[in-house]
Structure 1
């Protein structure tokens, strides 16, 4: 590995994988028992395992690494996106992902430091944004970004574009590719539905309407043949968790050097000073 940032980025992908595999399994197993599938529930489940606090602390640190990598992709253009609407949309999606994963990392840290419910305190991103000036527009914009990011993610899986940043071993390419396509398509669908909930919350000026994974899965379950589609979506979330491990191992990461990070922080500080 070229630097510590790359190690942290790969750790972040693996941590995301643990969360999504746990989340998908809870959805699959809990579909008959009535247990709610949520990212916070997945974190609580991890805490209940042997050495759970250590495991959750490892995941929390990894999620922080994932947030930092998303910020590097968005603000430092670590993936060398083109200066085009498509490139800016991709970077905006990375920024939105960073915000969402930051709340997840914070929830994990709360559970590690003190027993209790991971959902306690802080509220959702939609609740915080709605309290800001022009809050409904911020929630709506975030919703549109999440919706578009989900659609792009599903398209990248189905079209095979995801392979552009992966170096898959030839002997395992078909198996790993199949897992990747299924996981990206399923998670992209769930993400797009979640973005739609944010847009609806902005229209209604009600942050409570901004649903997350449980609401997205419930929406799928209420469709025709919903039980089968729900199970398929839950299995897809497990596949996306496995895809996260594939990224942790085989993704090409052009991690920023320390000097790039310092310059990015300086530019951000300068922009804040101009706005204040």
Structure 2
């Protein structure tokens, strides 16, 4: 009897270790893939800031740029698989909980579920682009945003729905930025494995990158709220138009340069997370 119980316990531990290894690998691959996308989007935004108005500074533009590189098809498939790994990791967090004292709380599981749905969509779009070799990069984020806003506005209470979504995006942007400035990401990093110099560099990338990412989210949310108030879908903006708006401020293109550099830093920070995050 004891032998049977020990055998079952051993098999359970083996499955748990195997699942943990798979989940950890998927998480690190997904974080690295996210880093690649933010690096490319930031680099494209820098080109826009310095006068190259033909570039599309969003995920579609990043995919199109990557497809033109040597071994572009292989890189696109690797990127899509990495993002699918990110979705798998978020699903495991929704089902089994995440690291940290409150990792099994309902709030954390709900947040993981939302992230799972988001990364399923992103991974699908990247893999679809890799399979079809669609040189448009899966479509402009601006057109997708306007089309989605127009469809929702036609629904009953559509203005309220778009407005609520915009406010939620603004709140998410503020949450992202504040947490970055407060360096909340440190709670999830294996800081003991870093040297002092590495920790400083990660802090620079994490704070500046997270603040820039939060600002972009918040700005996109503001445009969605304006679209709801004015009942004009064209006021909604995707990532590309949102970034270009920064160049139209009194600060000129330099604000866009700062935001673009922040997105590049967030890409670097994502690589650091892929290396040192506790999963």
Is 1:165–2:179 an aligned residue pair?
no
Is 1:3–2:3 an aligned residue pair?
no
Gaps of 5+ in 2: 1-16
Match of 1:185 in 2: 211
8 Å contact kept, 2:23–2:92:
no
CA distance, structure 2, for counterparts of residue 204 and residue 72 of structure 1: 41
What SS does the aligned partner of 2:69 have? coil
Cα distance, 1:244 vs. partner?
0.8
**Which residue, 228, 237, 255 being the options, matches 1:211?**
237
Scaled by the length of structure 2, the TM-score of the pair is 0.77
8 Å contact kept, 1:93–1:149:
no
Cα distance, 1:208 vs. partner?
4.2
8 Å contact kept, 1:96–1:142:
no
Match of 1:33 in 2: 52
Going from structure 1 to structure 2, the CA distance change for 1:200 and 1:22 (only over 3 Å counts) comes to same
Is 1:246–2:272 an aligned residue pair?
yes
Match of 2:165 in 1: 142
Match of 2:148 in 1: 127
The CA deviation string for residues 31-52 of structure 1, in whole angstroms up to 9 with x for no partner, is 3221231111001111111110
Scaled by the length of structure 1, the TM-score of the pair is 0.78
CA-atom RMSD, angstroms? 3.0
8 Å contact kept, 1:25–1:234:
yes
CA distance, structure 2, for counterparts of residue 179 and residue 249 of structure 1: 14
Matches for 1:1-276 after TM superposition, within 5 Å: 2-31=20-49, 32-34=51-53, 35-73=55-93, 77-79=97-99, 82=102, 88=107, 94-116=112-134, 117-120=136-139, 124=144, 127=148, 130=152, 135-168=158-191, 169-171=194-196, 172-253=198-279
Moved more, 154-163 or 193-202: 193-202
